[in-house]
Amino acid sequence: MTFKVGLLGLGTVGTGTAEILLSPAGRLPLLKEIEIYRVGVRSLDKSRTLQIDKTLLTTDLESIVNDPEVDIVVELLGGLEPARSLILKAIANGKHVVTANKAVIARFGPEIFTAANEKGVYVLLEAAVGGGIPVIQPLKQSLGANRITSVMGIVNGTTNYILTRMTTEGADFGEVLADAQKLGYAEADPTADVDGFDAADKIAILASLAFNGRIKLEEVYKEGIRNVSAADIAYADKLGFIIKLLAIAKREEGSTEESDRLQLRVHPTLLPKSHPLASVNGVYNAILVEGEPLGQVMFYGRGAGAGPTASAVVSDIMNIAAVLKTETVPIPHPLISCSHQHYCSVGPVEDVVSRFYTRFLTNDQAGVIGKLGTSFGNHGVSLESIVQIGMRDNLAEIVVVTHDVREGNFRAALDEIRTSGAVDSIPSILRVL
Ligand code: HSE
């Protein structure tokens, strides 16, 4: 039996995927039954290192999703269009789909999975989150016996690389970003990574699987890392923390099965140095899942790159091939299909309870700390620590860490502090795990 794959895209991940499929020796025997049947590319003239029969290549991507011979369409184009339309067309033509496209799935997942369920085909996306880290299938299958309470992770390698270098070199964001761009670790337009869009797409997908419901991407709160400074990293270090861009999906405390409410957020976070995610450095990703009765489990590995991402893509192709091999008329396999109908309820960020780190610049005069304390007290904000270590631009630098507080109350206290004139400015406000 042979399963025919139509590959859309022969970039980094497409090439990695083709390399595995073209040389299956030493891997699972099932791989030998998977054939690259057509490959859609942007240009036939591009020089490629991949040894592939050139007659398989075409620039007519539609002809692949319309080809009756193709069983599985593997979409590795990236971007929203034509990827979304090609995926939908493949589904309409009764083809199974494997994609690495988190942007399409996070935005159009409901449309895509509804179409797939109606047609009785699978859409698998292991490579969309965490590159080579197996986390999608584990959330669907291996952890299926658990009630998940939180999923949090470092899911963007570019920002983790930048923050790691800022930490080790004491450098500011702008200079590390410029160097990362020169070295190819950050895109020329770094917005999707550094402003948290990529991480928001990924946590929306993880949350949907962990909490068994659809997610509206716009309900994911997000802040990127542009405002993280070398000064904050240094203070965090002195206080026993490291700063990471975390993507967090959490069942709110007190949620019941009937009235679940989630927190979905992406933001730079001060992590205690002893936290399992604190030592995830450079371009590595990690996802920490917590559930009952399992407790914590962490997935760690390379979140991008040809080999790791292709490993995830090919595992999805094998999953589909295995189902096709054992069922002549595939029925939605409850452990690999996605059949949620309802949308998860997501609470506003003002209701999130967490600790906060804040850096104030102020004139060094009597009564300032008293005024800060009074404003915080007026809004029920309890302080864990307050330190004044140095001067910056002739102003005293005061760093405060709060106890757990509702974000809305904390913001109200800061508004009062701003309007009271007690401080010159508030350069940084960061959440603490
Ligand atoms: N741009 C992503 C990152 C890689 O930096 O992690 C692909 O998801």
CATH of the domain at 86: 3.40.50.720
Cβ–Cβ < 8 Å for 347, 252? yes
pLDDT, residue 396, reads 94
Q: Which residue has the tokens 């690389």?
A: 161
Same domain for 290 and 428, yes or no, is no
- In this structure, what token pair is assigned to residue 154? 């470092």
The answer to the question of residue 341 being in a domain is no
Going by alpha carbons, the residue nearest to atom 2 of ligand 1 is 156
Domain count, the chain: 3
Same domain for 17 and 125, yes or no, is yes
Ligand 1 contacts CB of residue 101 (under 6 A):
no
The answer to the question of residue 346 being in a domain is no
Same domain for 274 and 164, yes or no, is yes
The answer to the question of residue 100 being in a domain is yes
The answer to the question of residue 85 being in a domain is yes
Alpha-carbon gap, residue 91 to 97, rounded angstroms: 7
Same domain for 142 and 194, yes or no, is yes
Cα 107 vs. chain centroid, distance in angstroms? Answer: 14
Alpha helices in 120-211 (DSSP H): 136-140, 157-169, 173-183, 191-194, 197-210
The answer to the question of residue 192 being in a domain is yes
Which atom of ligand 1 lies closest to the CA of 102? 8
Task: Quote the domain boundaries for residue 201.
Answer: 136-302
Which residue from 13, 154, 155, 158 has its CB within 8 A of the most atoms of ligand 1, so it is best to mutate?
Answer: 158
| Catalytic status, residue 202 | yes
How far away, in angstroms, is 302 Cα from ligand 1 center? 10
The answer to the question of residue 112 being in a domain is yes
pLDDT, residue 330, reads 63
Ligand 1 contacts CB of residue 157 (under 6 A):
yes
- Tell whether omega for the bond before 293 is within 30 degrees of 0, i.e. cis: yes
pLDDT, residue 257, reads 62
How far away, in angstroms, is 38 Cα from ligand 1 center? 27
pLDDT, residue 319, reads 95
Q: Which of 277, 416, 414, 274 shows the shortest CA–CA distance to 357? A: 414
Q: Where does a domain end: 236, 267, 302?
A: 302
Same domain for 100 and 212, yes or no, is no
The answer to the question of residue 332 being in a domain is no
Same domain for 396 and 268, yes or no, is no
How far away, in angstroms, is 304 Cα from ligand 1 center? 6
pLDDT, residue 26, reads 82
Same domain for 277 and 170, yes or no, is yes
Same domain for 157 and 18, yes or no, is no
Task: Give, in degrees to the nearest 5, the angle at Cα 152 between 124 and 81.
Answer: 40
Same domain for 198 and 127, yes or no, is no
Same domain for 247 and 179, yes or no, is yes
Same domain for 281 and 146, yes or no, is yes
pLDDT, residue 341, reads 80
pLDDT, residue 256, reads 66
C-alpha count within 13 angstroms, C-beta hemisphere, residue 134: 11
How far away, in angstroms, is 156 Cα from ligand 1 center? 5
The answer to the question of residue 127 being in a domain is yes
Whole-model pTM: value is 0.96
Alpha-carbon gap, residue 46 to 37, rounded angstroms: 20
Same domain for 289 and 149, yes or no, is yes
Instruction: Specify the CATH number for the domain of residue 392.
Output: 3.30.70.260
Going by alpha carbons, the residue nearest to atom 8 of ligand 1 is 304
Give pLDDT < 50 ranges for the chain.
none
pLDDT, residue 113, reads 95
pLDDT, residue 374, reads 95
The bridge status of strand 241-251 relative to strand 147-154 is antiparallel
The catalytic residue among 202, 222, 244, 250 is: 202
Going by alpha carbons, the residue nearest to atom 4 of ligand 1 is 304
pLDDT, residue 1, reads 84
